[in-house]
Structure 1
């Protein structure tokens, strides 16, 4: 008897089939990377110009993503819509530029018009296509084979597997260029100064300590003034400092614990309450390192120092506000 699936079961079935279809196609792409792929990468790497990426329809959407990835990893790139190119935007292409044209079939009317124009200008043309034998595949100087046997669409019509394959080939290209350029995390930070990702790469402890008050007391400071210092600086903590060096730390928690243990507060000083050898970090360290230390030790503040001299406090709220957490 034929089993009828519920709506939820049908949704799960279709989702899994889609992922499996696209996943299998992506894994097969590794078998298609060859010397021609390497030659295409080297052509871009050795070029003195930019990369112009073009396509139409869904391939144009993939082209814009590839452009963004190239730009963010050190390879200057520009998107040029294939339809607009034959109506004036062909002037985008400069003499030393390398052109990447993306098309699943490689035989669309716009591509057939555009490719001869690019060839006439004399620029190197790289194809990302599923069909090596297409017009685009035959005319290109290099083919990066983004083969997709079938779309995830049950009608084999909606671009799904093919566009995913194009995107993965574009990522492979970008990562190869990144590797050849020796593109480091510091370089990445230069191109991503905004957002939490960029801040993780460039924000230092000193950028955060400079935003806060600098709570500190002497080991002989009396209890009242310790409490005043913690309250006024509003960081829930104060460093205990002698000769500019950190000798201890007092937190709100230390004060609460002291209240449960001591009946006579008269004569208590900072050195009687403080925790010795507190966790600390270099003021020039990356902010992400401060976050990792706090997480490892289960603390919400950490003291910063420079060559043994007290610099200030980093609070977990600083990291949250900057988007590091």
Structure 2
């Protein structure tokens, strides 16, 4: 079903671009509020022994949830508490070692104002983020971060648009500044994102995804080419490792080697595998990151790597293992 806009002359592209233009202009003006108060707030959060508790009602609450999530994923423990729920028991989630960031564009959110006396009585530091430096919340806080914008992108001046964007950006500025202060690394980020692509790439080691024990295609250096082909067929990895009696890697034989051997008209029954194998083989350790092993596969244009520890065969990792683990 097609609905005709009330204003048939509206240009949606122009309207959308106007919003972007207005919000960009508002963000440019936000820069002047990254000042000494911002530094003080960062120092307070950095020295906090507990968690950062973010509060906000309505749209400020939605933005507050995102700010808390960004803090938590970048090295600053944080969570969101709904001010309305806090008045009915959830305030008990806040401890004396925590710090509160209260968000309200007007700075007069009644739900938050009702909590401030209790927060002060518990001697919990309070940082406010409002668009009005003279507001009750701004005056009650130890530090006020101004998120004032000259106008909303909404043509009615009613829907929170520029103001919520400014709040979100101020929260990002805090989180990233603290990230840098803590020396937060990619590995640290991965630990808080084990289910994400980056987490898999930075947390998974070869030992986590390799084949080991009886799953590894392996024949003796004295085996025949026929024996090797049976092993390749049984283990379904397109290759087999060749080892000596001490389980040391002698070489590798792959499907590609088989095509080369067939062209040479070699007797499959009697030819020793040691005669036609590729000596050595590309090897990695169990503690190598899976993503680094994948890079080797891509550079060498191969699908399998031999895994060894102290010169002994430990396992085999295949490109399919990378795909299953989500490393690729």
Partner SS for 1:106: coil
Aligned counterpart, 2:243? 241
CA displacement at 1:98 relative to structure 2: 1.0
CA distance in 1, matches of 2:307, 2:286: 5
Aligned counterpart, 1:227? 229
CA distance in 2, matches of 1:245, 1:199: 31
CA distance in 1, matches of 2:243, 2:28: 59
Partner SS for 2:145: strand
Aligned counterpart, 1:63? 64
CA distance in 2, matches of 1:114, 1:47: 20
Per-residue deviation, residues 60-107 of structure 1 (Å, max 9, x unmatched): 112122222223333332321122233443333322321100112223
Q: 1:258 to 1:151 in 2, by over 3 A?
A: farther
CA displacement at 1:36 relative to structure 2: 1.3
Do the aligned partners of 2:212 and 2:316 also contact (CA within 8 Å) in 1? Answer: no
CA displacement at 1:195 relative to structure 2: 4.3
Partner SS for 1:43: helix
Task: Select 1:265's aligned residue among 264, 267, 274.
Answer: 267
CA distance in 2, matches of 1:296, 1:273: 24
Aligned counterpart, 1:3? none
State yes or no: 1:133 paired with 2:134: yes
Aligned counterpart, 1:208? 209
Q: 1:277 to 1:145 in 2, by over 3 A?
A: farther
Per-residue deviation, residues 133-167 of structure 1 (Å, max 9, x unmatched): 33222222112233433333333332233223222
CA distance in 2, matches of 1:149, 1:240: 73
Per-residue deviation, residues 211-236 of structure 1 (Å, max 9, x unmatched): 67112233443221111111111212
What does 1:115-130 align with in structure 2 at a 5 Å threshold? 115-130=116-131
CA distance in 1, matches of 2:17, 2:35: 30
State yes or no: 1:280 paired with 2:283: yes
Q: 1:221 to 1:157 in 2, by over 3 A?
A: farther
CA distance in 1, matches of 2:231, 2:260: 18
CA distance in 1, matches of 2:28, 2:274: 63
CA displacement at 1:313 relative to structure 2: 1.1
Q: Which runs of 5+ in 2 are unaligned?
A: 1-7
CA distance in 1, matches of 2:31, 2:325: 39
Q: 1:92 to 1:209 in 2, by over 3 A?
A: closer
CA distance in 2, matches of 1:272, 1:23: 70
Per-residue deviation, residues 226-263 of structure 1 (Å, max 9, x unmatched): 1111111121221233453334322223223433x222
Aligned counterpart, 2:298? 295
Q: 1:300 to 1:115 in 2, by over 3 A?
A: same
Do the aligned partners of 1:209 and 1:311 also contact (CA within 8 Å) in 2? Answer: no
